[in-house]
A and B are shown apart, each in its own frame.
Chain A
Amino acid sequence: MTRTDPLDVPRPDAQLHLGVFFQGVNHWTIWSDPASGSQIDPASFRKVARTAERGLFDAFFLGEGLRLREVDGRIHDLDVAGRPDAITQLAALAAVTDRIGLVSTSNTTFNEAPDLARRLSGLDLLSEGRAGWNVVTTDNAWTGENFRRGGYLDHADRYTRAEEFLTVARALWDGWKDGAASGSPGASTWAAPGAVRRVRHRGAQFDVDLAPTLPRSAQGHPVIFQAGDSGEGREFAARNADVIFSAHGSDFDDALAFADDVRRRLLSAGRPEDDLRILPGTEIIIGATEEEALEKKRWIRLQQVTPATALGIAGLLWNRDLSDRDADGPLPKEDPVVAENDGSFGARRIADPYTVVAEWREKAEAGGWSLRETVIALGPQRGHVGTPAGLADRFTHWVRHGAVDGFNVTPYLIPDGLDDIVDLLVPELQERGVYRTEYTGTTLREHLGLREPLTHRSTTDGRRAG
């Protein structure tokens, strides 16, 4: 890391926040190794959550996907798949953890606002203020085939619905005055008269009228996370979110540019520029030496990108079935086929495959790489590799220069993939004064150092009121 004069460091006191993303569906979680445990056994979830809590992490995250992935109309069978409903799983984890935040990725398109808001409130109460909600939007008709409404939402409307969804959810969360439920056993009414307000909302997406059934938790509202990278997604986050779960966490300049963009949008939305935490998803690979870490990375990539996975990824790029090719041989000679966007979340199509294939060919030739080696070398360069001390220096630099507020780590092994981060990296971070040595709060909002929920702020302090 570059030694800098402390006075040049924009955020000398900034603290690093860590979350763990139990992703559930992807090819980054290695399933083939004997050390890889069950992806559905409750013991796996308990183990990861408790390890993260031992490491004083802010949060434990679960992802969501509402249809099994497909490629060319067939269920994708190479990667980990099959996971529990997030809020249900997190409510169970609330019983076996004490401090860690519990964040559910939950869709605004295929849920009803009053129902999801109530489920999140329940999680928030059962965890005494540790709930978070990662708001995701999915519009595709392909996912919609599992739901009553089907694929009814236009792409342009998905953030409109998300925003109205959040408005309704917040109204419900604010429906009870604090201290509404009586604190004395002999009370004459269960809740103070007039303490519960009906919520009546009539809009393009929701037409509801109900009395909320739940008080606010210790943290006021569940913490709002946003994961989405488009301009609309960032605007939505700047207006509404407490945390952005971004994909900009591997390259410093890219991360800083993203963070600056978000901070600008925050100011435009009338919020202080430190009102939002930026936690990119990442992978962390640790070795005792740099060489050992790189060797481990090579082993991990080979487990993640098996020959079949390499052919699958190349098949998406070429838009041809390449499953009968030799992944350890050269790149396919044929030209790619330009795919129509079929709106399916099962397979992501590449808009301009010619350019990408040309680049792959050129680099593979120069490096003497097989197809599989090319996929590994030129696929997304995710994450951080190094020694505990080296990584701690790097992360200290990143957080103090405002590129990130922390990371949301995806372990490549379940359930033990966090152990070396907790046992080796965390102490180095603590030594540098960039990471907590004990939990100082009990709620997720406190862990993240967030202000009170947006709808609770007064208009006089320059912030937005709800």
Chain B
Amino acid sequence: MSGPALRLAVELDGDGAHPAAWRRAAHSPDHLLTPRRVARVAAAAENAGFTLLTLDDGVLPPGSVPDTVGRIGAVERAAFIAASTSVAGVAPVVPLTYAEPFHVSSQLASLDHISVGRAGWVVGEETQPEAARAWGRPLVEGAAARASESRDGVAAVRALWDSWEDDAVVRSVATSRYLDRDRLHYVDFTGDTFTVKGPAIVPRPPQGQVVVLGHPDLVPAEQLDVALVAGRGLAAVATAAAGAGTPRVFAEIEVALDTAHATAEERVADLEQHAPWTDRGRLRHVGSAAGLAALLERLRGVVDGVRLHPLVLDEDLPELSRLVLPHLFERRHAVRPSAGATLRTHLGLERPANRYATAAVPAGEVTR
């Protein structure tokens, strides 16, 4: 199969995709939550050539009970990473089940300013009932209610990003106006469970709209820039991709690679003694780097990109960096992001027009 070159994303939360990944990490647990560790993993992924780094999150501790693992909030990690990288996009997972859409909008717009247009957002969900008590908010019960929060939340967040037109800061010394208030807009958003007045307190993000990624069964397709699709086999992924209805589609792939010290199978088996590698119905490659490269090549034309979930970051990221990504880049089966471009540009997405933008005044009719 051939098609346009793939865009590559990688999920960097914790020590890897396996709940017990920390057991094979190259560092002790107390180093996981240090700035050095956060920066180092991000730098390794950026240097490898990934276009997008994603960071999982949720209010409940990760790991399998009773073995607690700590986790710094994804937005804070993303901002830290944005300031210590220069090319890769950075996308925190932020669920809207309980969060304030106004705060989420500000945080993600700020991330886009901080990264000069490299921000993304993976819309998450808080599915566990315990999450409500952890937030201190009334339970949002059932898939339908959660979907409604996600739908309204994303719509409100996106409206707030447009609530400042791009040139709302006019700094007009002649009229003493810092802002042009006609280019600021109350969003007056009304959802099923909340309203938001607006405008935002953060000027419009550099990308116009932060790149929104999500699962099409959780967020309506028209709200997404990139659908993240699952499927245990290529056919299932192809079906899901064809039906996604979003500008871009990325396949979710869980990855365990052979290393110099152990085969992928052995590594997985080692961790399975402690906890099962949760089956989320995603493509899973357990094996050689060459096998993964071949799988990715077959995905060209089926999807626009992939998001890899490495079993153990400290073990799989070096293999991806050394063997898989160079192979794909050399054959132009995947592209490296280039410095100075936005995440939208890397994904081939237009910078969206502002929904509130007043029609441009035709030339010659400019009044003074």
Residues of B with C-beta under 8 A to A122: 72-73, 76-77
> B residues 35-64 with Cβ under 8 Å of A?
35, 38-39, 59-63
**Contact stretch, chosen from A53-61, A82-90, A132-140, A399-407:** A82-90
**Contact stretch, chosen from B129-137, B263-271, B330-338:** B129-137
CB distance B102 to A66 under 8 Å?
A: yes
Is there a chain A Cβ closer than 8 Å to B273's Cβ?
no
CB distance B30 to A119 under 8 Å?
A: no
Residues of B with C-beta under 8 A to A293: none
Is there a chain B Cβ closer than 8 Å to A421's Cβ?
no
Q: Report the bound CA distance from A193 to B76 in whole Å.
A: 28
Q: Report the bound CA distance from A215 to B82 in whole Å.
A: 23
Q: Report the bound CA distance from A213 to B61 in whole Å.
A: 5
CB distance A91 to B135 under 8 Å?
A: no
CB distance A32 to B106 under 8 Å?
A: no
Would A191 and B181 be within 8 Å (CB), given that A95-B84, A147-B100, A209-B133 are in contact? Answer: no
**Contact stretch, chosen from B169-177, B211-219, B224-232, B316-324:** B169-177
Is there a chain B Cβ closer than 8 Å to A185's Cβ?
yes
Selected from A89, A182, A207, the residue in CB contact (under 8 A) with B30 is A182
Residues of B with C-beta under 8 A to A88: 75-76, 79, 106-107, 110-111, 114
Is there a chain A Cβ closer than 8 Å to B25's Cβ?
yes
Dominant SS among interface residues on chain A = loop
Indicate with 1 or 0, residue by residue over A73-114, a CB within 8 angstroms of chain B CB atoms: 011011111111101110111111000000000000011111
Q: Report the bound CA distance from A127 to B36 in whole Å.
A: 10
The tally of residues in B whose CB lies under 8 Å from a CB in A reads 78
Chain A residue with Cβ nearest B104: A85
Residues of B with C-beta under 8 A to A114: 59, 134-136
Indicate with 1 or 0, residue by residue over A176-195, a CB within 8 angstroms of chain B CB atoms: 10010111110101110100
Is there a chain A Cβ closer than 8 Å to B103's Cβ?
yes
Is there a chain B Cβ closer than 8 Å to A214's Cβ?
yes
Q: Report the bound CA distance from A210 to B72 in whole Å.
A: 15
Is there a chain B Cβ closer than 8 Å to A354's Cβ?
no
CB distance B67 to A190 under 8 Å?
A: yes
Q: Report the bound CA distance from A211 to B66 in whole Å.
A: 11
Residues of A with C-beta under 8 A to B177: 77-78, 308
**Contact stretch, chosen from B5-13, B189-197, B292-300:** B189-197
Is there a chain A Cβ closer than 8 Å to B201's Cβ?
yes
Q: Report the bound CA distance from A78 to B179 in whole Å.
A: 7
Residues of B with C-beta under 8 A to A83: 201-202
Chain A residue with Cβ nearest B102: A146
Selected from B60, B75, B136, B164, the residue in CB contact (under 8 A) with A207 is B136
CB distance A112 to B76 under 8 Å?
A: no
Tell which of A42, A96, A121, A148 has the most Cβ of chain B within 10 Å: A148
CB distance B76 to A87 under 8 Å?
A: yes
Q: Report the bound CA distance from A95 to B78 in whole Å.
A: 11
Q: Report the bound CA distance from A213 to B60 in whole Å.
A: 7
Residues of B with C-beta under 8 A to A128: 34-35
CB distance B184 to A75 under 8 Å?
A: yes
Is there a chain B Cβ closer than 8 Å to A68's Cβ?
yes
CB distance B197 to A79 under 8 Å?
A: no
> B residues 66-122 with Cβ under 8 Å of A?
66-73, 75-77, 79-84, 98-103, 106-107, 109-111, 113-114, 116
Would A191 and B70 be within 8 Å (CB), given that A88-B79, A113-B136, A182-B28 are in contact? Answer: yes
Tell which of A79, A93, A96, A190 has the most Cβ of chain B within 10 Å: A190
Closest beta carbon of chain B to A68's beta carbon, Å: 6
CB distance A40 to B76 under 8 Å?
A: no
Q: Report the bound CA distance from A121 to B175 in whole Å.
A: 44
Q: Report the bound CA distance from A185 to B29 in whole Å.
A: 7
Q: Report the bound CA distance from A192 to B365 in whole Å.
A: 72
Q: Report the bound CA distance from A75 to B169 in whole Å.
A: 13
Residues of B with C-beta under 8 A to A190: 22, 29, 63, 67-70
Q: Report the bound CA distance from A204 to B67 in whole Å.
A: 32
CB distance B76 to A214 under 8 Å?
A: no
Residues of B with C-beta under 8 A to A307: 176
Residues of B with C-beta under 8 A to A145: 195-197
Is there a chain B Cβ closer than 8 Å to A115's Cβ?
yes
Residues of B with C-beta under 8 A to A214: 33, 70-72
Q: Report the bound CA distance from A79 to B79 in whole Å.
A: 27
Is there a chain A Cβ closer than 8 Å to B199's Cβ?
yes
Would A191 and B113 be within 8 Å (CB), given that A68-B184, A114-B134 are in contact? Answer: no
Closest beta carbon of chain B to A391's beta carbon, Å: 30
Residues of B with C-beta under 8 A to A206: 136
Selected from B68, B76, B193, B197, the residue in CB contact (under 8 A) with A91 is B76
> A residues 193-247 with Cβ under 8 Å of B?
193, 196, 206-211, 213-215
CB distance B197 to A84 under 8 Å?
A: no
Residues of B with C-beta under 8 A to A375: none
Selected from A96, A187, A210, the residue in CB contact (under 8 A) with B134 is A210
Is there a chain B Cβ closer than 8 Å to A31's Cβ?
yes
Is there a chain B Cβ closer than 8 Å to A67's Cβ?
yes
Would A77 and B179 be within 8 Å (CB), given that A68-B199, A115-B135, A207-B136 are in contact? Answer: yes
Is there a chain B Cβ closer than 8 Å to A250's Cβ?
no
Residues of A with C-beta under 8 A to B111: 88
Is there a chain B Cβ closer than 8 Å to A364's Cβ?
no
Residues of B with C-beta under 8 A to A32: 171, 173, 176
CB distance B59 to A210 under 8 Å?
A: yes
Residues of B with C-beta under 8 A to A79: 178
10 more CB-based (< 8 A) A-B contacts, given A213-B61, A214-B72 = A40-B202, A41-B113, A88-B107, A88-B110, A91-B80, A111-B103, A125-B33, A181-B28, A191-B68, A191-B70
Q: 10 tightest A-B contacts by CB?
A: A308-B176, A210-B134, A84-B110, A122-B76, A145-B197, A91-B79, A92-B83, A95-B83, A122-B72, A181-B30
| Sample (16) of A-B pairs whose CB atoms are under 8 Å apart | A75-B181, A81-B201, A82-B201, A84-B114, A85-B106, A91-B76, A114-B59, A126-B72, A145-B197, A147-B102, A181-B30, A187-B29, A196-B61, A209-B134, A210-B60, A308-B177
